[in-house]
């Protein structure tokens, strides 16, 4: 069981909640709550600082670079302003803004190393929420929000080598499985997250296989074949 919320966390949480309630691109308050819960559980297992992990999780999406024309400085600046307003000390501000600055995935060929264990844990928890059944729902919610097609058989996935190329890509949501989601397991920082990621990625593979089978009409063919086999 993680410890009780500190006064600083109690001051920041409602501000973040008010800002993200009802957000429609898959970055809503419930995403932040899930990331915080999972990150605190990982923190207990790994022996990380619960307050820094909580604040990092609460503030990790505060001003995502994707929604600010690729500007990576808005998030850390907003996080700092909120933390200072709530009375955080310099060390806390430094640790949490470092997490906000480095948490995001920026393309298959772009490394996003995290210095501190607390940041590694928030990054793992955020990435785990992009996998499994919830991850699939968020992927298509984001694609819909951005106006991307579900799938286009004529457009293969691309492994982006720069944050710019990744950010400006308008590929189909199913391509995102290959462009990001299947790459996450190997990039997890903690062993527990890696195990969880592998299980969640397995579910994505099943979903993709079924999606493509339905697209190709294979399930109807199998259904009809079964009819002819019954005596
Ligand atoms: P992270 O914080 O790990 O960088 P993002 O903010 O990039 O996560 O993504 C948030 C959610 O939106 C995730 O579930 C992610 O997979 C999904 N997402 C991001 N970009 C795309 C895209 N181009 N197509 C479909 N889903 C996307
Ligand atoms: Ni997030």
Q: Enter the pTM of the model.
A: 0.93
11, 20, 25, 26, 227 from 142: Cα distances, Å: 29, 15, 5, 6, 39
Considering the chain, what percentage of its residues have pLDDT values greater than 70? 97
Residue 231 pLDDT grade (very low, low, confident, very high; cuts 50, 70, 90): low
Q: What is the pLDDT of residue 174?
A: 98
Asked if residue 3 has pLDDT above 90, the reply is no
Encode pLDDT of 24-62 as tens digits.
767 899 999 999 999 999 999 999 999 999 999 999 999
Encode pLDDT of 108-165 as tens digits.
999 888 999 999 999 999 999 999 999 999 999 999 999 999 999 999 999 999 988 9
Cα of 11 from ligand 2 centre, angstroms: 20
Cα of 1 from ligand 1 centre, angstroms: 29
Protein residue with least CA distance to atom 20, ligand 1 = 142
Among the bound ligands, the one closest to the CA of 167:
1
**Which of 142, 146, 148 should be mutated for ligand 1, with most atoms under 8 A from CB?**
142
In 3D space, the residue among 54, 59, 51, 39 whose CA is nearest the CA of residue 192 turns out to be 39
- 70 or 124, which is more confident? 124
Asked if residue 230 has pLDDT above 70, the reply is no
Cα of 26 from ligand 2 centre, angstroms: 8
Determine whether the shortest distance from the Cβ of 173 to ligand 1 is under 6 A.
Answer: yes
- Helix H, strand E, coil C: the string for the chain is CCCCCCHHHHHHHHHHHHHHCCCCCCCCHHHHHHHHHHHHHHHHHHCCCHHHHHHHHHHCCCCCHHHHCCCCCHHHHHHHHHHHHCCCCHHHHHHHHHHHHHCCCCCCCCCCCCCCHHHHHHHHHHHHCCCHHHHHHHHHHHHHHHCCCCCCCCCCCCCCCCHHHHHHCCCCHHHHHHHCHHHHHHHCCCHHHHHHHHHHHHHHHHHHHHHHHHHCCHHHHHHHHHHHHCC
CB atoms within 10 A of CB 213: 14
Average pLDDT over the chain reads: 93
Protein residue with least CA distance to atom 26, ligand 1 = 139
Cα of 139 from ligand 1 centre, angstroms: 6
Asked if residue 208 has pLDDT above 70, the reply is yes
Q: What is the pLDDT of residue 170?
A: 86
Determine whether the shortest distance from the Cβ of 64 to ligand 1 is under 6 A.
Answer: yes
In 3D space, the residue among 220, 223, 105 whose CA is nearest the CA of residue 166 turns out to be 105
Determine whether the shortest distance from the Cβ of 31 to ligand 1 is under 6 A.
Answer: no
Q: What is the pLDDT of residue 17?
A: 95
CA separation for the pair 12, 48 (Å, rounded): 20
Mutual angle of helices 29-46 and 117-128, in 10-degree steps: 130
Q: What is the pLDDT of residue 2?
A: 80
């Amino acid at each position: 069981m993680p410890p009780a919320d500190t006064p600083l966390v109690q001051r920041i949480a409602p501000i973040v909640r008010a800002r993200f309630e009802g957000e429609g691109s898959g970055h809503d308050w419930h995403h932040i709550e899930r990331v915080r819960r999972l990150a605190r559980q990982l923190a207990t297992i790994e022996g990380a600082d619960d307050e820094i992990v909580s604040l990092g999780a609460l503030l990790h999406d505060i001003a995502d670079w994707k929604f600010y024309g690729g500007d990576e400085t808005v998030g850390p600046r907003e996080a700092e302003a909120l933390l200072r307003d709530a009375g955080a000390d310099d060390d806390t501000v430094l640790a949490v803004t470092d997490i906000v600055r480095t948490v995001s995935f920026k393309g298959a060929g772009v490394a996003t190393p995290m210095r501190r264990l607390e940041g590694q844990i928030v990054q793992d928890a955020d990435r785990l929420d992009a996998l499994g059944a919830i991850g699939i729902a968020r992927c298509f919610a984001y694609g819909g929000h951005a106006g991307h097609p579900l799938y286009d058989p004529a457009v293969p996935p691309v492994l982006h080598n720069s944050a710019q190329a990744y950010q400006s890509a308008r590929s189909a949501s199913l391509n995102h499985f290959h462009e990001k989601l299947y790459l996450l397991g190997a990039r997890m920082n903690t062993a527990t997250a890696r195990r969880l990621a592998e299980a969640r990625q397995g579910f994505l593979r099943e979903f993709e296989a079924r999606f493509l089978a339905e697209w190709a009409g294979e399930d109807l063919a199998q259904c009809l074949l079964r009819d002819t086999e019954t005596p």
